[in-house]
Chains A and B, each alone.
Chain A
Amino acid sequence: MFIQMIKGAFKRQTGKFVMIAVTAALGVCAAAAMLNIMLDVGDKVNQELKAYGANITVRPKFASILSDVYAEDDAERDFIAEKDVLKLKTIFWAHNIVDFAPFLTMQTSINGGDYRLVGTWFNKELDLPTGETVVTGIIGLKSWWQLEGEWLKDDAAGEVMLGSIAAERLNLTAGSLVEIEGRDYLVRAVFSAGGEEDEDIYLPLAAVQELSGNYGKAAYIDLSALTTPENELARKAAQDPSSLDRDDYETWYCTAYISSITYQIEEAIPNARAKAVLQISQSEGAILNKIQLLMLLLTALTLICTALGISNLVTAYVIEKSVEIGLIKAIGALDMQITLLVLAQVMISAIVGGVVGYFSGLKVASILGRAVFNAVIEPSVLTLPIVSILLILTVLFGSIPAIKILLLTRPAVVLHG
Chain B
Amino acid sequence: MKNIVELRGVSVIYDSLAALQDVSLEVRFGEWLAVMGPSGSGKTTMMNIIGCLDKPTRGSIIFDGEDISHARLKDLTAIRREKIGLIFQQFHLVPYLTALQNVMLAQYYHSLVDEKEALKALERVGLRERSSHLPKELSGGEQQRVCIARALINYPKLILADEPTGNLDETNEKIVIDIFKGLNAEGSAIIVVTHDREVAQYADRVVRLGHGKIAAQEKDRLTFPPISL
List chain A positions with a Cβ less than 8 A from chain B.
Answer: 1-2, 4-5, 8-9, 11-12, 323-324, 327-335, 337, 410-412, 415-417
Contact assessment for A415 and B92 in the assembled complex, using a CB-CB cutoff below 8 Å: yes
Interface string of B81-97 (1 = CB under 8 A from A): 11000101010101111
Contact assessment for A331 and B54 in the assembled complex, using a CB-CB cutoff below 8 Å: no
Contact assessment for A8 and B113 in the assembled complex, using a CB-CB cutoff below 8 Å: no
Judged by DSSP, the binding face of A is: helix
A415 — which chain B residues lie within 8 A by C-beta?
53, 88, 90, 92
For B47, the closest partner residue in chain A by CB is A416
Judged by DSSP, the binding face of B is: helix
How long is the Cα–Cα vector from A410 to B48 in the complex, in angstroms?
11
A selection of 13 A-B contacts at a CB cut-off of 8 Å is A1-B105, A330-B53, A330-B80, A332-B77, A332-B78, A332-B80, A332-B106, A333-B109, A412-B48, A412-B53, A415-B53, A415-B90, A416-B44
Contact assessment for B109 and A337 in the assembled complex, using a CB-CB cutoff below 8 Å: yes
- Interface residue tally for chain B (C-beta within 8 Å): 30
How long is the Cα–Cα vector from A403 to B162 in the complex, in angstroms?
29
B48 — which chain A residues lie within 8 A by C-beta?
412, 416
Interface residues of B in 22-59 (CB under 8 A from A): 44, 48, 51, 53-54
How long is the Cα–Cα vector from A412 to B109 in the complex, in angstroms?
19
Contact assessment for A8 and B96 in the assembled complex, using a CB-CB cutoff below 8 Å: yes
A8 — which chain B residues lie within 8 A by C-beta?
94, 96-97
Tell me, yes or no, whether B101 is within 8 Å of chain A by CB: yes
Given the known interface contacts A1-B108, A415-B92, A416-B44, the answer about A331 and B150 at a Cβ–Cβ threshold of 8 Å is yes
B105 — which chain A residues lie within 8 A by C-beta?
1, 5, 328, 331
Contact assessment for B106 and A331 in the assembled complex, using a CB-CB cutoff below 8 Å: yes
Which single member of B44, B94, B95, B110 contacts A332 (CB below 8 Å)?
Answer: B110
Given the known interface contacts A330-B86, A411-B53, the answer about A9 and B96 at a Cβ–Cβ threshold of 8 Å is yes
For B106, the closest partner residue in chain A by CB is A331
Inter-chain pairs besides A12-B95, A416-B162, 5 sampled, C-beta below 8 Å: A324-B94, A331-B81, A331-B86, A331-B106, A333-B109
Tell me, yes or no, whether B116 is within 8 Å of chain A by CB: no
